[in-house]
Structure 1
Amino acid sequence: MSDEAITAVQGGELFGLEGLGWDAGWADLQHDAEVGAGTDPRAGRIARTHRVGFDVFTRAGRLFAVTKARQRDPMRAPATGDWVVLADVADIDEPVIAGVLDRRSAVVRRDPADRAAPQVLAANADVVAVVQGADRPINPRRLERQLAVAHGSEARVVVVLSKSDLDPDGDVARQLRQAAIGQEVLVTGANSGVGIDELDAMTEGCRTLVLLGESGAGKSSLVNAVLGHEATAVGVVREGDSKGRHTTTRRTLLPLPTGGALLDTPGVRAVGLWPGWADLDAVFPEIAEAAESCRFSDCSHRREPGCGVTGAVEDGTVLADRIEAWRALDDELEATRTEVERKDWR
């Protein structure tokens, strides 16, 4: 998205932070963070990150800010959606991010680079929409990964089917509901307007809605439909496999004229899980329910006697492919924990 597009969405030089979700709780955190921050401390919310700085919405408009030093802990580094305190520092031309306010939620995955580290995709989301396109078959295993990351944020999670005009008989919608067991599902169509009011309503009360999904899933079209104008380029997908190119290249916070915000993300190819930020119970509610009858509280649902989950698989309450998918994700999380422990020990 261009700087001009962000400015157009912002709607002028002055933008009320309350429209982006600023409240008394954030103000209390700001007061604590201002101590020793520098000259003229003021609050802002990160709209977009760059290699050398950050676009930040403030009461004085959109500013470009920097940090004094690179944060070694990826979970403490500023991310799109973060509330921050800016200050003026001697010998630095741009405002400096003096502090990041404690997050209320975070969408976190394992860094797709080959290292044991987390990556924050979005901060302070109230709702995470996991977007699936009706122009391609539903991949249950990919969906489960995306849902695990979304639920790990502790925000409300909605599975959104886009491009419903390409699914006139509702076959893909039925596949999606069968794969998304226990999930809230919303069918939408940017061209027809189906479900757009319901999607827009998720930002009421100045809430932030994050759109998460693979390239070509229709996120950019949904953003434009909610905004009511084209703020984001819409990509072309290949006819053979419905794969799309990245039309959103950076995670971007887009204020809505009536309050609230959309946080658009680039297509997510790698969806690695990060311990503490992935919720398997929310993705596999039938397995979590069956686990309540396990004989042992630390049951791994594999070979233990008296396992309620293996019993549920035998009687058909839990599908065999679902428990296999759960085990694969659980094994992945355990392997990452081991990798992190070894890294910390070194």
Structure 2
Amino acid sequence: MKAHCFLILATFLVLTGCKKENESPTTPRTVATALPFENAAVKVELVANNLPTWIQAMTFLDASVGIVCTYDGKVYRTSDGGRSWSLQYSVGTPTQLPLLQILFTSARVGYIVGGSVQCTGSGCTPPGGLVLKTTDAGITWAAVHRVNGAALAAIAVNSVGDLFAVANTTGSQIIKSSDAGATWTPVASWPYQLNKIAFDLHLGYGASGNSGSGGNAGKIIRSLEDGASWSEAATFAYPYLNELAFGPGIGFCASGYSIVYKTTNDGANWTPITSSNFSAQVITPLTATNCLIFGSGTYSGGDFGTYSGSLRQSEDAGNSWSEIELKTVGTIRQASFYSAQSGYALAGSTLLKITVK
């Protein structure tokens, strides 16, 4: 009888031990019911809640000067840390092209890309895409390039100052400018759309926005030579990669706003880093070890419920994470850091100041 009891106890210990070994470690989570919120690693403060609507991208050059662009073709600027915003540019009517991404290559020179290939009504001509440029830190903007029948979805700069943009139709092209945006030439094409492009020194990366005729899979493309040539580097099960970001020696991407992957070997291999029911809208690598992920938290419930905002932080290169749910704001869809410690995040029309300690 004693031997039988001992055998049962030993079996129980083995089974429970194996279960704990295979389980993912619990991610520490904090619920912030008010702002400002502060812990030992990060501080979140409310700046303003009256920003322009339909913001698609945001960039802060320093603590005071920031630029946003909107889906209805407008560019706004702040010079007081986001407390007030002024309209600097409008595409105009009836061709209010969506403006989708901002890139500054210096403190004064910046670019915005956008466009659309969708149109309705008889005789409608797709409006195409455009590149806007500023040389005075976002005070004035002018269109320096237009594309017929394609939307410009993303823009990046390589290690020697060449610009690269993504032009989408049913598939996509990567186009290049070596004269500060004045002229552009195609350098690669793909049967699926791309929605992200980024450079990490001389290495270039792109992420697919839909499967298109390239199959039901998400793709990472890569250039090893400053964008001169490109090839597929990785394939993901989910067809939509919504985010792609690189920091010193490390890169991240997000699949379908949910699964986050990292690479530490220049995009050759990608590993899922953590499981969470928080969404991943924007990833911000700050250093080789410190990274933030912004998105949505839990759903309030009901037919007309809302999602709270969320912030995940890793201080060990993505190996472990802590989570903060921000109950007083909605989903965070944009973030911009002007240093490794300081930046801003945007939830709808609410601007947050983020300080990493």
Q: Scaled by the length of structure 2, what TM-score is found?
A: 0.28
- Whichever structure has more strand as a proportion of its residues is 2
Structure possessing the higher radius of gyration over alpha carbons? 2
Q: Scaled by the length of structure 1, what TM-score is found?
A: 0.28
Q: Which has the higher contact order (CA 8 A, sep 6+)?
A: 1
